Amino acid sequence: MLITHAKIYTMSNVGLIEDGFIFVKDGTIEKIGSMALCPKISDFKGAVIDIKSMNLFPGFIDSSTTMGNTCLDDQDQIFKESKSDLIAPHLRVLDSVNLKDPSFKEALFSGVTTVIIFPFSTRLISGQILACKTFGKKIDNMIINSSASVKINLKKVIGSNSNIFLLGIIRESLLKAKKYIEDKEFAISNLDRCETPTYDIKHESLVRVLEREVPALIDAETREEIFAAIRIAKEFSMKIVLVNPLDISLVTDEVLSENVAVLCSPFCVRNDRHKTSDSFSKIPGFLNKMKIPTAITSNHPKFPSNFLTLAASVAVNAGMDWLEAIKSITIYAAKINGISDHVGSIEENKDADFVVFEKDPLDIFQKPKLVVCNGEKILDNL
């Protein structure tokens, strides 16, 4: 496939290519550049698509969804059972995804080619998060990362009557996993006199978080919950990403000092738990101006993923820079979720995921003219 005469918003260091081409081969971007460097079209044997100076962007990324997740636990029942049931880092969202969920198709046809799927926040540590494409017939062929991170839930834990007990369970689990790692490393280096610890799937599922290979995504809305998240991150030297930290404007200095990233939706609803007086629609722009890595999300399922560009539009209307809002649903989202080697920008050797709009994609009346995912043409309204 050869895309020609496109105004390419690469979201890379290359910046904007006013009149460019993209050569796609085997699902990846083989070559990109200005039309002056384009292969001779008459010699090209594949499909040639003339974009006619329309705007081409990387496929959009929704960083916080529960799309297709069928594993909804009874929270009240879990909390009545043993405390071990509250800790489930070994459970994988991958194993519960139902591709019949119409949200996949709706997202894809709106230009959202990648989604991050969370477990429901019914446990203190809820399991392994999935990064995948929205296009495909089999979930195993759609995976970008089946364990992109784990989810920790502090929302409504801090400030409750049992907060000390519940935080103690989280800390105990992390301490045990840390000790497990230390014992395992010691045993490996002393095989002549030590046995390796008995395999523990829960501890193993936390290894990548404790060794800073992936971040822990933490639900923390209020100031107290954000403080607790940062406290845990410092204690265990973890990278963390805060999910919808609605009181974050009250603790900006602490967030900056700990290099914390944020996933947030401007569609969040105020209630008595939050102390900030600012509109939540202003939060993405505020964070962006403070140089805090930020990805805008749809807040699926409350608002479906095909509303992702609307969410970015709301943030722009509330003061966020337009290009920064686009980056927050492309390259920033990819970097925060550790998948920027595959998606998030238009660069050679990355997945051929892109979406074309005649005008501004953040205009609510605009619909994609072309959607390509993994090098396959999904939608063509050119």
Q: What percent of the chain has pLDDT over 90?
A: 67
Lowest-pLDDT choice from 36-40, 364-368, 377-381:
36-40
Burial of 266 by CB count in 10 Å (0-12 exposed, 13-18 middle, 19+ buried)?
A: buried
Closest CA to 154 of 60, 217, 101: 217
Question: Mind listing the domains of the chain with CATH numbers?
Answer: 1-58+346-382 (2.30.40.10), 60-343 (3.20.20.140)
Q: What number is the average pLDDT over the span 8-36?
A: 95
Q: What number is the average pLDDT over the span 198-217?
A: 92
Residue 277 main-chain phi, psi, to 5 deg = -100, -5
Q: What percent of the chain has pLDDT over 70?
A: 92
* Mean pLDDT for all residues in the chain: 89
Q: Where are the alpha helices (DSSP H) in the chain?
A: 75-80, 103-109, 163-189, 201-210, 223-236, 252-257, 283-289, 308-317, 322-328, 331-336
Closest CA to 243 of 258, 264, 229: 264
pLDDT of residue 331: 98
Q: Looking at the predicted structure, is the pLDDT value of residue 277 above 60?
A: no
Q: Looking at the predicted structure, is the pLDDT value of residue 162 above 70?
A: no
Q: Which residues contact 96 (CB under 8 A, 6 or more apart)?
A: 68, 69, 70, 71
Report the predicted TM-score, pTM, of the whole model to 2 decimal places: 0.92
Q: What number is the average pLDDT over the span 27-55?
A: 90
Q: Give the orientation angle of helix 201-210 with respect to helix 163-189, to 10 degrees.
A: 90
Residue 62 main-chain phi, psi, to 5 deg = -100, 115
- Residue 220: how many other CB atoms lie within 10 Å: 29
Specify whether the CB–CB gap between 187 and 121 falls below 8 A. Answer: no
Q: What is the tens place of the pLDDT at every residue in 226-257?
A: 999 999 999 999 999 999 998 888 888 888 88
Q: What is the tens place of the pLDDT at every residue in 317-364?
A: 999 999 999 999 999 999 999 999 999 999 999 999 999 999 999 998
Lowest-pLDDT choice from 9-13, 26-30, 191-195, 280-284:
191-195
pLDDT of residue 327: 98
Specify whether the CB–CB gap between 123 and 86 falls below 8 A. Answer: yes
Phi-psi region of 50 (alpha: psi -120 to 50; beta: other; left: phi over 0): beta
Token couple for 309:
């560009």
pLDDT of residue 79: 52
Q: Which residues contact 274 (CB under 8 A, 6 or more apart)?
A: 221, 222, 246, 247
pLDDT of residue 340: 96
Q: Looking at the predicted structure, is the pLDDT value of residue 275 above 70?
A: no
- pLDDT higher at 302 or 372: 372
pLDDT of residue 15: 94
* Cα gap 55→382, rounded to integer Å: 12
Q: Which residues contact 40 (CB under 8 A, 6 or more apart)?
A: none
Q: Which residues contact 197 (CB under 8 A, 6 or more apart)?
A: 180, 183, 184, 187
- List, edge to edge, every strand of the sheet that includes 130-133: 60-65, 112-117, 130-133, 143-145
pLDDT of residue 33: 95
- pLDDT higher at 365 or 188: 365
Lowest-pLDDT choice from 99-108, 264-273, 337-346, 361-370:
264-273
* Cα gap 299→268, rounded to integer Å: 8
Q: Looking at the predicted structure, is the pLDDT value of residue 53 above 60?
A: yes
Q: What is the tens place of the pLDDT at every residue in 66-86?
A: 999 876 655 555 555 556 678
Specify whether the CB–CB gap between 261 and 291 falls below 8 A. Answer: no
DSSP string, 202-267: HHHHHHHHHTTSSPEEEE--SHHHHHHHHHHHHHHT--EEEES-TTGGGSHHHHHHTT-EEEE-TT
Q: Looking at the predicted structure, is the pLDDT value of residue 193 above 70?
A: yes
pLDDT of residue 298: 93
pLDDT of residue 43: 77
